[in-house]
Amino acid sequence: MKTLRAPTAIVTFLTVLLLTFAGTGCQLVTGAPTSSTPASPAALSQTSGDFADAIRQVAETVKPAVVQITGEQVQVDLFNRPFTVPAGVGSGVIYDRQGYILTNNHVVEGAKQWLISLPDGRSFAGQLVGADPQTDLAVMQISGRDLPVARLGDSSKMQVGDWVVAIGNALALPGGPTVTKGVVSALGRTVQEPSGPTGTPGPFLFDLIQTDAPINPGNSGGPLVNLQGEVIGLNTLVAGQSERGVQAIGIGFAISIATAKPIADQLVTSGRAIHPYLGINYVPLTPAIAAQLGIPSREGALVTGVLASSPAAEAGLRTRDVITQIDSTTLRGESALAEVINTHKPGDT
């Protein structure tokens, strides 16, 4: 890791893309040992020529395992009697025989209890196993017999142009999950989530799958599926209006299963996920900042603060340092440092 000393610190942020969750704020549209049956479809052929039949098979295979998650808040009336009100609606997918459900953290946060509804009409009280705001992932669990289970695939095998199917409870419409189709538009995207209710910037999400499959409010936490009927991502974000008069269309993002499954395993095992970190606050170094500070480098991360007793403090990093490279990777772009750190494990040097 190479550093340069800088005389002053300037904080500059550029907003590139406005993003919205695909699940929060959705309004309801009115109208003993656990055993389960895995959803194991017959092999689907992407070259069979019957594309519509392939999509239909995917829907029939995976949709039974896609649940609606209704968060509920407990309030009290004038007579101090408790009652519940919906806090938001999202989606999730049953991925394990023990009733574990993979979903987004922003689907479950802010609620005190959850109602899990299956397409077959059954409903269960959901238990929050664990949540990880940094990756926007959460695991819930229900207890029931003959639960449908979706198969998890290998997202690393996906290629740009591959057909995918998005399944989720769009707009909480009655009658079960909505099925849409599209293609993988890009791989390995890094996107920052929207700010929370307090205005705190959202976390950066890495290794996202970009798709043009329509994703709507209520879809968050629902699966993105390949034509083999395997879950390869969790639908999480859609791009909104990035500048006045310009509307982004057909740009949605899913957290890859390659990212989600290891986090889910940690949540199931210990209820929390452990991430590598340096312990610094920083801003990306731009040519304008570099020129004003008289720094020869034009790219990197400008350190604006160091947490006491953090790995960065122990390594001797100080405010106004400029990190230009980690390992053999030159830092370019707003999220470059976070991306590199994300590839490491706690304890790496």
pLDDT tens per residue, range 41-64: 444 444 545 888 999 999 999 999
For residue 157, pLDDT beyond 50: yes
**293 domain-assigned:** yes
CA 28 to chain centroid, in Å, comes to 22
**19 domain-assigned:** no
Instruction: Quote the strand ranges of 135-229, DSSP E.
Output: 137-141, 147-149, 151-152, 163-168, 178-192, 204-211, 223-225
Does residue 40 carry a catalytic annotation? no
Show the tokens assigned to 97: 């025989």
CATH number of the domain encompassing residue 10: 2.30.42.10
| Identified catalytic residue from 91, 106, 132, 297 | 106
pLDDT tens per residue, range 72-94: 776 666 666 666 666 689 999 99
The pLDDT value given to residue 208: 95
pLDDT tens per residue, range 159-201: 999 999 999 999 989 989 999 999 999 999 988 888 766 777 7
**22 domain-assigned:** no
For residue 6, pLDDT beyond 50: no
Over residues 283-294, the mean pLDDT reads 80
Same domain, 53 and 201: yes
Lowest mean pLDDT among 130-134, 231-235, 342-346: 342-346
pLDDT tens per residue, range 103-115: 999 999 988 899 9
Does residue 220 carry a catalytic annotation? yes
Same domain, 209 and 329: no
Does residue 123 carry a catalytic annotation? no
Single-letter amino acid code for the residue at 294: G
Same domain, 293 and 234: no
Question: Pick from 257, 273, 289: which residue ends a domain?
Answer: 273
**100 domain-assigned:** yes
| Identified catalytic residue from 117, 155, 185, 220 | 220
**27 domain-assigned:** no
For residue 95, pLDDT beyond 70: yes
271 contact partners, CB below 8 Å, separation of at least 6:
129, 130
pLDDT tens per residue, range 102-148: 999 999 998 889 999 999 999 999 999 999 999 999 999 999 999 99
Query: How many domains are there within the chain?
Result: 2
How much is the mean pLDDT over the chain? 80
Q: The whole model's pTM is what?
A: 0.75
| Identified catalytic residue from 96, 136, 207, 321 | 136
**24 domain-assigned:** no
- Between 246 and 179, residue with greater pLDDT: 179
Same domain, 43 and 142: yes
**Residue-range definition of the domain harbouring residue 161:** 32-273
Same domain, 175 and 320: no
Same domain, 234 and 330: no
